């Protein structure tokens, strides 16, 4: 959708100051009931604030008095700042925050607040399309491109139409486009149910039976496929900064690269050596940073696109290993090319790209050589270097987060999980340390595209928390999320048009705005930069020669060290970027999914992973003891006696085969009031160990197996109403299995990540060296409790183990219960824990 600049800017500026001298900044989209919720009060006066209130917007009644107020000192012209924490208030509704004379804009709390947000940002991706542009309903750059730097094909034409324009300029880069493709594929993999279908493959309105994000992924991968026409032949860039010759629309591009205006542009071959056009030389040292991006996109894309484009998926999948080999043959970084200005993407690192390419090839092929190579590359850069740094050159360390670390951490190896979670945590910790003294907990360096770094760190925080169960960085995660959506010094969302009734960038550095034909809807703008950077840039200014543009509407809010301007002439802070916008799809989809889970469970305060509950309310000192079995019972007596001794109800999940073999045991457990539920009938492995997203069973087989399981449970009066919780076989599943379970009227639950008691099945000499003795399991559980608490935890053990394990962990259950009860924990049934 296109909106006129002139109709909304005045009201947006007017909304900046509700109370003179003091302001309360909030996340303008809203807060999930179960999430952290912090507003920031800032004032030009020296204040002493110890409390605040939440007022119901409909009734005017005070519904909450907050006492968690943290003074944060001065910031810029603001003599006082405070963090106002109202996380414990979870009632959905619309409110206002009041603190002294200051009042906030409307504060929305509810499970629905992020609905449609991930789909919304795709508007900008469609607007940036090259080839056929759906916003202009016309084609552009149809004669791209003519080869540069290839040893035998110099000047020859190659068909590389498609892809996306990078930002306000019309250049195209593999560097940013490949990352955008991966980010969208990852978002869809993690949260497939979030994305809808309202647009056709060409980007015009009209459903085509394919989720809109898949349409966008295919658009990008089709272009990337063209940029790799033959084995070993990779291209990194279309056009260069000779493009920067004033404002224009894509179809009318007047740039002339030697073949006449709008008559074809150069495409730069990846040589692995420095390239120079005009007077500037880049610092290219190899090809691996580009090759690794091709490889990861092709390998993952072959799986993501297979249901809709099987032939194309097979084609790019077959290319992945060859692209990766280019990186092995030519290690080092590839930078982009400029001609008339010094500004390029100065990517220095490359092992992160090869790490991700290798792990995705491992997922695709199962060949462990790729896993080993991924680990080797990952160990060469444990932490993305910008994290914790004060500054960096433009895109010096890119992508801004290392998705390879996350993929290695969940590759199924306990040792690797610990190592690469530690790497993720170290990066977060460095940013967290910088954030401690900042009123908005913003520990990001104020370099060009700081909002992209913010989005990357937000993503890393989400992934680390969900994979590790460690919640210590949740407040910073919330602060990063809220910074992008209005809880920042300027009180503006950084996403154009979101929320529609909020304050967001109107005078973007965008051709659509320059031409006064619309706005870059859904685009994430660059974000604040250091004042020193802004003052050093060429051609940047904040003049007001555009209609209805105020030269500096945020002057009084500038913090001093960084600046942000909603002004068309500030390309350093107010230009939307395609890769930053694509990177938003995962966090926005994740929060929408979390909100949906809350709404479906009404007061659902549970923690979800891939649609399954992995932890209850972390604010309540309840926990679950869970026991599963396929066919072993040797721990039955020890377990039931320990539970009875301490007055604890356990949770037992059995396969249908177990139930048919041991009906008397099941009858005793039901009679004793323990929870008994399904663990499937046949104990199938539902998804691949190497690629969790790859489902190994059909829905028909799943449904049949579940029905057989509940047929066995029905013998004891158990059904999907009074035994709705289901624990998957091997305690392993993906979002598809969760969705199928919901379709059957079941709720999938699983063990809490990071708790290692599930390793009680191991034995000396087990393959891969996974054996953990009972003392180490006990120690790890107690260490987890000290670091993270066991509030809401689902602690899993097995009802029996193989004879080779003589050191039976269930023999320690008596001690475990006694110690944890002494710490105040209540051990309850799964329905009590979840409240569902």
Tell whether the model's pLDDT for residue 60 goes beyond 90.
Answer: no
Cβ(468)–Cβ(753) below 8 Å: yes
Cβ(642)–Cβ(797) below 8 Å: no
Pairing type for strands 794-798 and 622-629 reads: parallel
Is the four-CA dihedral 492, 496, 502, 506 of positive or negative sign? positive
Measured distance CA(596)–CA(613) in Å, rounded: 13
Measured distance CA(221)–CA(598) in Å, rounded: 35
Cβ(540)–Cβ(534) below 8 Å: yes
- The pLDDT tens digits for 295-318 are 999 999 999 999 999 999 999 999
The candidate with the shortest Cα–Cα distance to 269, out of 177, 142, 151, is 151
As a residue count, the chain comes to 836
Measured distance CA(640)–CA(648) in Å, rounded: 9
Pairing type for strands 52-56 and 62-66 reads: antiparallel
Question: How many Å separate Cα 814 from the centre of its chain?
Answer: 40
Which range, of 195-199, 340-344, 383-387, 569-573, averages the lowest pLDDT?
Answer: 340-344
- The pLDDT tens digits for 204-234 are 999 999 999 999 999 999 999 999 999 999 9
> What integer pLDDT is reported at residue 12 of this predicted model?
36
Which range, of 178-192, 580-594, 599-613, 809-823, averages the lowest pLDDT?
Answer: 599-613
Tell whether the model's pLDDT for residue 275 goes beyond 50.
Answer: yes
Measured distance CA(8)–CA(27) in Å, rounded: 20
Q: What is the mean pLDDT of residues 86-90?
A: 90
What separation, in Å, do the N-terminal and C-terminal C-alpha atoms of the chain show?
40
Tell whether the model's pLDDT for residue 550 goes beyond 90.
Answer: no
- The pLDDT tens digits for 444-467 are 999 999 999 999 999 999 999 999
The Cβ-side half-sphere exposure at 779, using a 13 Å CA radius, reads 5
pLDDT band at 551 (very low <50, low <70, confident <90, very high): low
Phi, psi of 322 (to 5 degrees): -65, -40
The candidate with the shortest Cα–Cα distance to 57, out of 88, 115, 103, 8, is 103
Give the residue, 327 or 9, on which the prediction is more confident. Answer: 327
The candidate with the shortest Cα–Cα distance to 114, out of 179, 171, 227, 191, is 191
> What integer pLDDT is reported at residue 277 of this predicted model?
63
Domains in the chain (CATH in brackets) are 605-834 (3.20.20.370)
Report the C-alpha dihedral over residues 341, 343, 348, 349, rounded to 10 degrees: -140
Q: What is the mean pLDDT of residues 67-73?
A: 96
- How far CA 654 is from CA of 632, 644, 752, in Å, comes to 10, 20, 19
What is the DSSP code (8-state) at residue 522? Answer: T
Phi, psi of 794 (to 5 degrees): -110, 105
Measured distance CA(289)–CA(284) in Å, rounded: 10
What does pTM read for this prediction?
0.73
pLDDT band at 2 (very low <50, low <70, confident <90, very high): very low
- How far CA 228 is from CA of 158, 180, 265, 316, 321, in Å, comes to 11, 17, 17, 10, 12
């Amino acid at each position: 959708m296109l909106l006129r600049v002139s109709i909304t800017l005045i009201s947006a500026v007017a909304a900046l100051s509700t109370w003179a001298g003091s302001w309360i900044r909030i996340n303008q989209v809203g807060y999930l009931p179960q999430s952290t919720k912090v507003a920031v009060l800032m004032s030009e006066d020296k204040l002493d604030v110890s409390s605040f209130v939440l007022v119901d917007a409909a009734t005017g009644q005070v519904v909450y008095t907050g006492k968690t107020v943290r003074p944060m000192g001065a910031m810029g012209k603001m003599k006082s700042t405070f963090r106002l924490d109202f996380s414990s208030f979870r009632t959905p509704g619309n409110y206002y925050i009041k603190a002294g004379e200051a009042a906030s804009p409307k504060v929305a709390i509810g499970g629905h607040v992020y609905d449609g947000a991930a789909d919304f940002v795709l508007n900008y991706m469609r607007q940036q399309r090259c080839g056929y542009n759906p916003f202009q309903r016309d084609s552009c750059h149809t004669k791209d491109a003519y080869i540069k730097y290839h040893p035998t094909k110099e000047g020859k034409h190659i068909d590389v139409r498609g892809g996306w324009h990078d930002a306000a300029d019309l250049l195209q880069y593999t560097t940013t486009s490949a990352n955008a493709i991966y980010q969208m594929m990852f978002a869809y993999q993690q949260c497939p149910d979030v994305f809808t279908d309202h647009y056709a493959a060409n980007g015009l309105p009209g459903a085509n039976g394919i989720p809109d994000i898949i349409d966008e992924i295919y658009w990008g991968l089709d272009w990337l496929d063209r940029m790799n026409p033959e084995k070993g032949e990779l291209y990194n860039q279309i056009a260069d900064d000779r493009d920067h010759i004033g404002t224009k629309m894509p179809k009318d591009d007047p740039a002339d690269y030697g073949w006449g205006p709008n008559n074809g542009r150069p495409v730069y071959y990846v040589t692995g050596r420095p390239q120079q056009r005009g007077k500037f030389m880049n610092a290219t040292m190899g090809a691996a940073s580009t090759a690794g991006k091709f490889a990861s996109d092709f390998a993952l894309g072959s799986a993501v696109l297979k249901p809709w484009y099987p032939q194309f998926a097979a084609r790019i999948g077959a290319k992945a290993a060859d692209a990766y080999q280019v990186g092995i043959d030519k290690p080092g970084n590839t930078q982009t090319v400029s001609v008339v200005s010094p500004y390029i993407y100065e990517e220095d690192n490359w092992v992160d790209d090869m790490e991700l390419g290798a792990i995705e090839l491992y997922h695709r092929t199962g060949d462990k050589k790729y896993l080993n190579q991924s680990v080797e590359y990952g160990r060469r850069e444990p932490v993305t270097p910008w994290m914790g740094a004060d500054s960096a050159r433009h895109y010096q360390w890119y992508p801004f987060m290392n998705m390879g670390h996350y993929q290695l951490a969940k590759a199924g190896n306990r040792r690797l999980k610990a190592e690469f979670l530690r790497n993720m945590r170290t990066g977060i910790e460095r940013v967290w340390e910088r954030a401690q003294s900042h009123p908005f907990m913003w520990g990001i360096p104020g370099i060009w595209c700081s909002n992209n770094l913010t989005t990357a760190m937000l993503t890393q925080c989400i992934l680390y928390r969900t994979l590790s169960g460690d919640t210590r960085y949740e407040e910073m995660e919330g602060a990063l999320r809220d910074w992008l959506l209005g809880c920042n010094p300027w009180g503006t969302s950084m996403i154009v048009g979101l929320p529609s009734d909020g304050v967001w960038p109107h005078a973007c550095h965008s051709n659509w705005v320059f031409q006064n034909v619309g706005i870059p809807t859904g685009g994430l703008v660059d974000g604040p930069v250091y004042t020193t950077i802004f003052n050093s840039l060429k051609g940047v200014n904040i003049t007001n020669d555009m209609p209805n543009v105020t030269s500096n509407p945020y002057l009084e809010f500038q913090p001093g060290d960084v600046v942000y301007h909603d002004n068309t002439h500030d390309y350093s802070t107010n230009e939307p970027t395609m890769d930053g916008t694509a990177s938003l799809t995962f966090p926005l989809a994740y929060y929408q999914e979390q909100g949906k889970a809350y709404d479906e469970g009404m007061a659902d305060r549970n923690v979800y992973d891939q649609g399954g509950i992995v932890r209850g309310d972390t604010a309540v000192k309840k926990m679950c003891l869970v026991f599963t079995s396929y066919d072993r019972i040797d721990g039955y007596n020890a377990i039931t006696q320990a539970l009875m001794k301490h007055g604890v109800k356990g949770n037992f999940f059995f396969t249908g085969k177990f139930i048919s073999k041991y009906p008397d045991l099941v009858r005793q457990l039901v009679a004793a009031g323990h929870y008994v539920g399904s663990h499937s009938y046949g104990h199938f492995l539902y998804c691949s160990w190497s690629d969790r997203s790859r489902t190994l069973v059909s829905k028909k087989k799943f449904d049949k197996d579940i029905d057989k399981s509940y047929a066995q449970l029905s013998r004891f009066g158990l059904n999907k109403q009074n035994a709705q919780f289901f624990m998957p076989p091997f305690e392993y599943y993906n979002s598809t299995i969760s969705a199928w379970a919901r379709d059957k009227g079941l709720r999938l639950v699983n063990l809490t990540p990071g708790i290692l008691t599930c390793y009680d099945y191991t034995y000396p000499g087990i393959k891969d060296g996974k054996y953990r003795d009972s003392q180490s399991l006990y120690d790890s559980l107690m260490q987890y409790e000290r670091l993270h608490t066991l509030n809401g935890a689902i602690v899993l053990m097995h009802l029996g183990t193989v004879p080779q394990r003589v050191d039976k962990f269930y023999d320690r259950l008596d001690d475990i219960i006694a110690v944890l009860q002494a710490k105040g924990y209540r051990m309850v049934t799964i329905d009590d824990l979840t409240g569902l």
